[in-house]
Amino acid sequence: MNAVLPYLLKSAYRREPVVSFLVTIGVVDALIGGFDDSWSLFWFGLGTAGISLAVRWWRSQQQNHPIEEEVVVQRYLPPQSSNSSLPMLSMSKKKPPSRD
């Protein structure tokens, strides 16, 4: 269990740094408010952590259900040109411009 907790915290901070930071602030405020009998700080901390988690859940729900768009295939040549062969390109033999 001791090796799993740091791994989960590091991965959470890498994926969602702002949300993880706000959750950490909220939990610390709630702990300080609970131990000091400052209930306004306790509820503020719980509210901050709760809203941060709700925002993260809301964003994850939006990413899981992308709007389905019709896939348009981009073709560079018309379909009938694929049956015929392309002409050979030839290089014209011109003199390079002179440097005067």
In the block, residue with structure tokens 């981009």? 74
Instruction: Supply 4's token pair.
Output: 């799993």
Residue 36, φ and ψ in degrees, nearest 5: -95, 5
Only one residue has tokens 């925002």, namely: 55
Encoding tokens for residue 14?
Answer: 């890498």
- The dihedral region occupied by 68, where left means phi > 0, alpha psi between -120 and 50, and beta the remainder, is beta
pLDDT of residue 79: 66
Burial of 55: CB neighbours in 10 Å, binned 0-12, 13-18, 19+ = middle
Low-confidence ranges of the chain (pLDDT < 70): 1, 64-68, 77-88, 91-97, 100
